[in-house]
Amino acid sequence: MASKPGPLTRWPWHDMGNYKYALVAPWAAYSTYRFTAATARGEEGDLLSFFVLPTLLFRLLYTQLWISVSRHQTARSKHRIVSKSLDFEQVDRERNWDDQIILTALLFYVVNSVAPMTQGLPWWNPKGMVLTVLLHLGPVEFLYYWFHRALHHHYLYSRYHSHHHASIVTEPVTSVIHPFAEEAVYFGLFAIPLLSTMATGMASVAVANGYLVYIDFMNYLGHCNFELVPKLLFDLFPPLKYLMYTPSFHSLHHTQFRTNYSLFVPFYDYVYGTMDKSSDDLYERTLHGREEAPDVVHLTHLTTPGSLLHLRLGFASLASAPLRSSSSAAAWALAVVERPLAALASLLGRTAFRCEANRMGKLSTETWVVPRYTSEYTSKKDGHAVSRVVERAVADAEASGAAVLTLGLLNQATS
């Protein structure tokens, strides 16, 4: 929360917990019924409203994938930008990253129901794509830049934007963690291309949903805390540096605060003199990378297939609320995901993988996970294979330069 929370800080469904998804359910059911009924009559259904639910589900999975990949890369990649640890307070503060996805779905449903021009849209319209690109590069980026600078004024910063900047070490979902009032303004800006294409008859389902995916991608890219944009892109097309930011470019905004204000397009920082002078140097250094030898490696292991989802790479909402009963509805739902993941872990379980990297002062610690379960440790059939994995992990930890190696309970028994 901001240092001095202002009006409309809390989201309307803050107290509903995961029941907030019930707000979407009636709209989703009605749009699905309307689409299937129209199709059954041989008529053309409303694609825009029908695709709201699939798009919502896709964005949830897509975001979780970004979270998992980002945390894995910041634990193992030499291209990490900020080396500080990701603390539990930040994870808790950023748990409600799905709020903006739910709000998007609700707005799409409401606008579709009251505005006839949004109904019966074609799947694709190239004119709409061109207009969306131009409006984003122009009004959206320009207005966002100046609104962002205004948010760094003491009055607005202390009441709203300081909530976002509480995260120095960013991860993908940091990009969407804002007070409700601030997020509402962003939604108004992003609505400019969408409403303009609809008003001019150039809108299409693909462009509307594609614009949402573009916003997600660029948001998550800029906050992932490891550099992954290849230099070849800028070598082949030099003007791209003015049209597309990089993770290191935006990271400087979170560490320096008064530079690199742009949304996704650095052009406006160059024009108004707010580009951080170390942007290019930081990009080059993080892209080149640096190897860091851990001082301490803790070698842990999985217990059950469900424990795989409780790792830092998994789901924070699950890790914070232990499953009480294997017969619960949640357990049955998770089993659908757990079993394929268990099979994958066993298939790839020839070596340990880095799960976490933390710093305590000058001490660098890493947690490595042996992707094997308790049942495999105690099995006569799999015990020998598990021992080989543990021995290899110990050798790798020693080769990495770790001065101290600690072992999880079952790993001790195999050593």
Show the tokens assigned to 64: 């979780």
In this structure, the number of other CB atoms found within 10 A of the CB of residue 381 comes to: 7
Tens digits of residue pLDDT in 155-214: 999 999 999 999 999 999 999 999 999 999 999 999 999 999 999 999 999 999 999 999
Please, is 48 exposed, middle or buried when counting C-beta atoms within 10 Å of its C-beta (0-12, 13-18, 19+)? buried
The DSSP result for 243-299, as a single string, is: T---HHHHHHHHHHSSS---SS-THHHHHTT-S-TTHHHHHHHHHH------SEEEE
The ranges assigned to domains in the chain are 14-287, 296-414
Tens digits of residue pLDDT in 67-114: 999 999 988 889 999 988 888 889 999 999 999 999 999 999 999 999
- CA dihedral defined by 349, 352, 356, 359, rounded to 10 degrees? 180
Show the tokens assigned to 46: 């409303």
Q: What is each CA distance from 399 to 347, 364, 394, 403, in whole angstroms?
A: 25, 16, 9, 10
Percent of the chain with pLDDT over 70: 93
pLDDT at 318 over 80: no
Show the tokens assigned to 246: 């990089």
Cα 276 from Cα 46, distance rounded (Å): 47
Question: CB–CB of 20/93 below 8 Å?
Answer: no
Note the pLDDT of residue 332.
Answer: 62
Ordered alpha helix ranges (H), 125-239: 126-135, 141-151, 154-156, 162-165, 180-199, 205-222, 231-236
- Confidence bin at 21 (pLDDT 50/70/90): very high
Of 172, 219, 166, 164, nearest to 64 (Cα)?
A: 172
The structure's pTM equals 0.92
